[in-house]
Amino acid sequence: MDTVQIWNNFSDEVYFFILKKVNSRNVANDIFQNTFLKIHKNLSALKEENKVKALIFQIARNEIVNHLNAESAYVDKLSTSPEATLPEDQFACCFDKLINELPEMYREVIELVYIKGHKQKDVAVALDISLENTKARIRRAKDMLKQKFKECCKYELDEKGKLTGEPNCSTC
């Protein structure tokens, strides 16, 4: 099987597989291009034609991982550079205060998932509650935090329900 046949048989399937994993058309296009370059280069190493699809998707998965690792390295370098650190007063002005004001059942879940970085499933087990209950508590806590940010800091919600604007704290 040559590269043209592979393209004709698998290009759409590979592209949408990549797009589903990265959620960005530009990134998917880059990864897709790199995938087919590697397929073209490594095609001669393929000994069994019935394993073509497995090879194609393995190359695509590897390219996705390579992209995510490169992106992660860039973010790490960016966030650890001295000029990237913000002065203390430029962080969300009263984030810790607002989290501490949450009822304990919500605060605990938010701290475990978002501050300590535990998986929701692990938090559910640790708190002896269902995963659905954990997700519901997170959703309610986020709603409470959004409301408190709106009241305290005069943030606004955009059409997607995300906080926007600059802090203008009047009560804290």
CB-based contacts of 95, cutoff 8 Å, min separation 6: none
Q: Where are the domains of the chain?
A: 3-82, 88-164
Q: How far apart are CA 132 and CA 130, in angstroms?
A: 5
Are the beta carbons of 74 and 28 closer than 8 angstroms?
no
Maximum alpha-carbon separation in the chain: 70
- Decide which of 3.40.50.150, 1.10.10.10, 2.40.110.10, 1.10.3210.10 is the CATH code for 88-164: 1.10.10.10
Question: Could you read off the pLDDT tens digit of each residue along the chain, which spans 172 residues?
Answer: 778 888 888 888 999 999 888 888 899 999 999 998 888 887 777 777 788 888 888 899 999 998 888 776 555 544 544 444 444 444 455 777 888 889 999 999 988 988 888 899 999 999 999 999 999 999 999 889 888 877 777 667 777 767 676 666 655 5
Assess contact for 67 and 22: CB atoms under 8 A: yes
pTM: 0.44
